[in-house]
Chain A
Amino acid sequence: MARAIVNAPAQAKRGEIIEIKTLAAHAMETGFRRTQLGELIPRDIIRRFTCSYNGVEVYRVDLHPAVAANPLIAFTTTATETGTLSFQWVGDNGYSVTEIAPIRVE
């Protein structure tokens, strides 16, 4: 099942600023809501998103309970060399998703 969608350009010119969009399937349960019986629903959120470009971290986000479900994270980076972009989402209850996207730089 799809757990995350990454949209990044497959190729770019050296020095070009590229836009990357990511979408992760996650309920982002805040931990503040209660069931109809009054029991607290435990928090279950993504805590951190990181993007690495050939092993070097280029972008990082800390997420908090106010972030909506299925968070869309869009950001830019500079295309420097051919290689891979890797994306990782880490969260509560052992949640961890990794995606990679190859990029060719000319």
Chain B
Amino acid sequence: MGVRSRLAPAVACILLGLAAAAEIPPGERRSGYEFMSRETRAIQDDDAGNPGMLWVLDGEALWNRKAGSTSRACADCHGDARTSMKGVAARYPAFDAATRRPVNLEQRVNLCRTARQKAQPLAFESKELLALAAYVARQSRGLPINIAIDARSKPFLDAGSETFHRRQGQLNLACAQCHDDHWSGKLAGSPITQAHPTGYPLYRLEWQGLGSLERRLRGCLTGVRAESYPYGAPELVDLELYLRWRANGMKIETPAVRP
């Protein structure tokens, strides 16, 4: 009896430990920044040398440019982005009451363009859309990601989580197998990171340009030889929602630089 009662908590701890091994404990969460070389960090840290700032400056110009048949600029409604957009990107993807599903920052920009400015939506990954998203997200740099989940958005979060944990593609790999279970390892010499989307849209040296989280996700899906979802697909946005929720509390780095 004495031995059993002493063993029982130990066994319980081991079982709990195994169950928790799948998810990264809050204290061990690390941004992709921490996996980078000193040289790459230096590019991100200095606004004078961070090429993502070229897009941010373009975004600032677009913010103040009139567009659409209403001939209104973003600034005509939202004013100075440095105050009005502070912390906004930290909440995205956010639930959109009109479409009754979460939308990401790029989709929100386009919803505003079509509904309020009466302008043509900007193409996904176009320089203009990335510039506006980077400019808006830049205003939240240093603030913690803050995704609030309620009854309306819960099903979409669950769908994103399901995608993250589902094996797919010819390699039959789930996102979680690399980014939850093996983030301390390497893949073809490069660190496997924890997949916390803290700095999007970000400048990737491999891309030689700025890109969105969806571009990165599509790249990963192609990497496991799965068929990628198209830009703006509900599956991708749900996955974005899950990843951002998973990174809740981590600081926004936009425009980040990654190798």
Residue positions of A touching B, CB distance < 8 A: 1-2, 5, 7, 21, 23, 25, 27-28, 68-70, 72, 74
Contact = CB atoms under 8 A, between A and B. Distances in A.
Nearest to A28: B208
Interface residues of B, number: 13
Given A68-B205, A69-B208, A69-B209, A23 B48 contact: yes
Contact of A23 (B51, B58, B61, B205): B51
A31 to B, nearest CB: 15
Chain A to chain B: the 10 pairs with minimum beta-carbon distance, closest first = A2-B57, A7-B48, A69-B208, A70-B51, A21-B48, A25-B54, A72-B49, A1-B58, A2-B58, A2-B54
Task: Kindly name the residue among A25, A27, A28, A70 whose own CB sees the greatest number of chain B CB atoms within 10 A.
Answer: A70
B53 interface: yes
Interface of B: 43, 46, 48-49, 51, 53-54, 57-58, 61, 205, 208-209
B206 to A, nearest CB: 11
B57 A5 contact: yes
Nearest to A2: B57
A70 B54 contact: yes
A7 B49 CA distance: 9
Contacts of A23: 48-49, 51, 53-54
Which of B51, B61, B205 has the most chain A CB atoms closer than 10 A to its own CB?
A: B51
B205 to A, nearest CB: 7
Contact of A5 (B54, B61, B205, B209): B54
A5 B53 contact: yes
Nearest to B61: A1
A40 B4 CA distance: 74
B74 to A, nearest CB: 16
Given A23-B53, A69-B209, A5 B58 contact: no
B187 to A, nearest CB: 23
Contacts of A69: 51, 208-209
B139 to A, nearest CB: 17
A1 B53 CA distance: 12
Given A7-B48, A21-B49, A70-B208, 10 more contacts: A1-B61, A2-B54, A2-B57, A5-B57, A23-B54, A68-B208, A70-B51, A72-B43, A72-B49, A74-B49
A23 B61 CA distance: 18
